[in-house]
Structure 1
Amino acid sequence: MNNLWKNIKKFPLFIIAVFIGFFLTTIQPIFKLLKNKKQKILIPVIIGTIFIITYNTLRLMLEIE
C-alpha cells in the first residue's frame, strides 16, 4: 500500500513532463521553418488559419451568433 502512494505522488510530475515534451516537440519544427526567409510568412498564415477554424468550430458548437 505504501508503494501505491509513492506512485500516486509521482503522477503530477509525470503529467507536467508529458506536456512540456509535447510542446517542445511541437514547437521545434516551427523554429526550423523560421530559419528560411521564404517560409517566415507561412507561420502566421498557419497560426491564423488554425485560430479561425477553432473560432468558427466553437462558435457553431455553442450556437453563438
Structure 2
Amino acid sequence: MPQQKLTIVPVTLHTENNNSSSSVPAELSSKPACMIKTAAAEIAFFNGVEEHVIQAIMRELKHW
C-alpha cells in the first residue's frame, strides 16, 4: 500500500457567544473558512457552521 503524506493543521473551536440580545447571522461567504481534502472526498466548512457538525464529520473521517 503506498504511503500518502498527511498534513495536520491545528484548529481551535470557540463556543458561540449566546449573551447577545439580538441574533445576528454569521457573515456569509462563498469562500470556505476551512477545506479538508482526502483521496475520496473534499469537505468545505463555511463560517457559521455549528461545532457539533464539525465534530461529527471529523469522527467520520477516521473511517476513511
Is TM > 0.5 for Structure 1 vs Structure 2? no
- Specify which structure has the bigger relative contact order, considering alpha-carbon pairs within 8 angstroms and separated by 6 or more residues: 2
Q: Report which of the two structures shows the higher radius of gyration computed on alpha carbons.
A: 1
Task: Give the TM-score normalised by structure 1.
Answer: 0.28
Q: Select the structure that is richer in strand.
A: 2
Q: Select the structure that is richer in helix.
A: 1
